[in-house]
Every structure is written in structure tokens, then in C-alpha cells.
Amino acid sequence: MSIEQLKADLLESIAGASDAAAIEQIRVAALGKQGSVSALLKTLGAMSADERQSEGPRIHALREAVTAALAARKDAIEGAALEARLAAETIDLSLPAPDRLRGSVHPISQVMDELAEIFADMGFAVAAGPEIEDDWHNFTALNMPESHPARAMHDTFYFPDTNADGREMLLRTHTSPVQIRAMLDVVKQNPGGAPLRIIAPGRVYRSDSDATHTPMFHQIEGLVIDKGIHLGHLKWTLETFLKAFFEREDIVLRLRPSYFPFTEPSVEVDVGYSLVGGKRVVGGSEGWMEVLGSGMVNRKVIAAGGLDPDEWQGFAFGTGVDRLAMLKYGMDDLRAFFDGDVRWLSHYGFAPLDVPTLSGGVGTPV
């Protein structure tokens, strides 16, 4: 049989192959040890040098053409099989789930809803910002210039490339950049700027992992900008929030002087706890634990937000949502929050229809 004829036959049968097994059969018959193309290759050894020079390239070209056709046909068959599987594998979301698989609302979602409800009652809107941030919003505008030591404390995940404006890109290390975005937004909508009252719950990222740290976790930020705002407003707001959140009247706060680049003065807020059966329960004042960072917004931050710091003042606060959830609902390992274990969720989760409201209570477990 001529090389051309063999090639035509093989390509025809490859084109007609309808599944992976058929492709494999043709491959073995052509390129396997006893295959037709392999047999041709073997004839090269017995040829004269002249013959080999003319036949060699033709036989090698045949082998390459057959190899390429086999690969292309295999790809096409696999692609079609995947398409067919995707089309066939649909999930009917309207089917009732078996009891053992019934989902529930994750405590983090629940706590974020509780926070939104509590702060909405005090006139706060919910704001959001991107999780992929630039270093200006995440650091510089928050009074952490390039050489600021606080930058090093954040264990930041950086991207290899800068954005179109030449800014370094990163996964935001805290929700504080939303302060800047919210101020710039309000200035854009209304040249007078403030007042502004927002909370910003969301995911944040740091390269850190142990029993109390996960590389992704959740924070909530609060920001109030208005005229004549002072520390008293901050203390009242946090007290009102913590009483509503922990659903107890005996919440006692202790404000300690501290340092954050974006606030001046800065305070760390401790909440009093009592010991009940050896466990810390928020309320009373047998001991203190830190729950929030806060302070009066630094003048430089107000200016970075496009507002005049002589005209506008404000306070800000930030804290971990996961920790608030653990304190309120009694979980003790942060990592379990992100394991996706249905048994954990059915224990700690919340009924989907039990939406937190101030009148109905913010957060009754299933």
C-alpha cells in the first residue's frame, strides 16, 4: 500500500472514531509496536542511503500527521463528552433536601445581618469595597505611607503586578479602606461632602494561620463623619451596639489609650466579662477583654477622603466579626468556621427564616 493510501485510510478512520476507545484502537494499529506506520519506519533500516533520503521524510511526515490527527480527534471527543455531561447534570434546586443535608445560615452571615440590623436602627448604611485593593486605599490614605512600620505588621498578600495607575495591588488586610472609599463617594455625590454614617462588614486577608488566625477572616468597620463629633459619641455608639448585640444591659466598657495610624486619639475598647462555669461570658466586670479598635478619625485621613478636616470630624471603629460570633455563640476554634462541615453548621447555624430584627431579637440559635 502506498504511503498516501495508508495516510488517507488512517485519517478517514480517525475522523470516523466516535469514542476514546476507538481512538486508542487506531493508535495501537498505526503507531503501536506492530502498527502499520511503525512497520514502515522499520523498513528505513534496510534501505539504501538514497532511498532513505527520499522515503525517510515522507514516512516521518506520515507519523506526525497521524499523531496530530489522533490528538485533535481525542480533544474533540472529550470536549463533546464534557458538554454532554454538563448539559445532563443539572440540579433541581426546587427539590426538598433530605433532613440530614438541610443547610442553615452560617454564624458569620447571621452576625453580619445582626450588625446591619443594629446599626441600621442608629442610622448607619452598609457600605462595601473591593477585596482586591490598591496600596493607596489600604495603607497610604489611612496615614500609613510606604515606609510606615504598621504596613509590615499586616502580613499582606501582594499581587505581582501593579494596576493601571502604577499602584501596588493586594488583598485588603482590613476593612478600613472602605472608610476612604465611602468618603470619596459621598464627596462625589454631594460636593459639601458629609455627613456620613456607615458600617462596612466584609472579608479581609492576612498571611497568618493558627488556632486563632485564618488567612481569610471577617471584619466590620464603622465610620461617622459629621460636625462637632467627639469621643462621647463614639462611646455611646459602641455601648449601644454592644448591648444590643449581646442582648444584655450589664455591658461595661473600658476605653484604653492606644495607637492606630488612622485615628488620633486612638482607643482600644475592652468589654467586661463574668465567669460562668469557667467560661467567659460578656457582661459584668470580673475581667476585661479587648473587643474593638477605634478612635477619632485622623485629620490626614479625612483629607485623603476629600473632606476638609477643619470642617468635619468623625470617629471610626473596627473589629473581627468572627471573634464577635465566637464570643456571642460560644465556639472556640476559629478554623471550624471555614471547614464547611455540615455537622458543625447544623449545630451552630441559624434557621434561614429567622431573620434578625430588633423587635424579634437579634440571633436566636436554631
Q: Which residues of this protein are in contact with ligand DAH, per CB under 6 A?
A: 174, 176, 221, 260, 263, 293-295, 316-318
Q: At what angle do helices 321-329 and 107-121 cross, to 10 degrees?
A: 100
- Whichever of 27 and 174 has its CB closer to ligand DAH, that residue is 174
Positive or negative, the CA dihedral 64, 67, 71, 76 is positive
Q: Which residue is nearest to ligand DAH (CB)?
A: 318
- Whichever of 17 and 316 has its CB closer to ligand DAH, that residue is 316
- Whichever of 110 and 294 has its CB closer to ligand DAH, that residue is 294
**Coil, strand or helix at 124:** coil
On whether the CB atoms of residues 128 and 219 are closer than 8 A, the answer is no
On whether the CB atoms of residues 360 and 278 are closer than 8 A, the answer is no
**Coil, strand or helix at 7:** helix
What is the rounded radius of gyration, in angstroms, for the C-alpha atoms of the chain? Answer: 33
Which residue's C-alpha cell is 527520499? Answer: 54
Q: Could you tell me the smallest distance in angstroms from the CB atom of residue 293 to ligand DAH?
A: 3
On whether the CB atoms of residues 295 and 222 are closer than 8 A, the answer is no
| Strand (E) or helix (H) holding 13 | helix 3-16
Which residue's C-alpha cell is 489600604? Answer: 138
Q: Could you tell me the smallest distance in angstroms from the CB atom of residue 324 to ligand DAH?
A: 13
Q: Could you tell me the smallest distance in angstroms from the CB atom of residue 263 to ligand DAH?
A: 4
Distance CA 362, CA 110 (A): 9
Q: Could you tell me the smallest distance in angstroms from the CB atom of residue 205 to ligand DAH?
A: 11
- Whichever of 31 and 126 has its CB closer to ligand DAH, that residue is 126
Q: Could you tell me the smallest distance in angstroms from the CB atom of residue 83 to ligand DAH?
A: 46
- Cβ count within 10 A of residue 339: 11
- Whichever of 23 and 324 has its CB closer to ligand DAH, that residue is 324
- Whichever of 110 and 298 has its CB closer to ligand DAH, that residue is 298
Three cell numbers, residue 245 = 448585640
Q: Could you tell me the smallest distance in angstroms from the CB atom of residue 94 to ligand DAH?
A: 42
Q: Among 173, 83, 187, 98, which residue's Cα sits nearest to residue 132? A: 173
- Whichever of 267 and 282 has its CB closer to ligand DAH, that residue is 267
- Whichever of 49 and 152 has its CB closer to ligand DAH, that residue is 152
Q: Could you tell me the smallest distance in angstroms from the CB atom of residue 137 to ligand DAH?
A: 13
* Cis preceding-peptide flag for 195 (omega within 30 of 0): yes
Q: Among 312, 97, 110, which residue's Cα sits nearest to residue 195? A: 312
- List, as one string, the DSSP characters of 283-304: SSSSEEEEEEEEEEEPHHHHHH
Q: Could you tell me the smallest distance in angstroms from the CB atom of residue 267 to ligand DAH?
A: 8
On whether the CB atoms of residues 351 and 108 are closer than 8 A, the answer is no
- Whichever of 40 and 234 has its CB closer to ligand DAH, that residue is 234
Q: Could you tell me the smallest distance in angstroms from the CB atom of residue 259 to ligand DAH?
A: 10
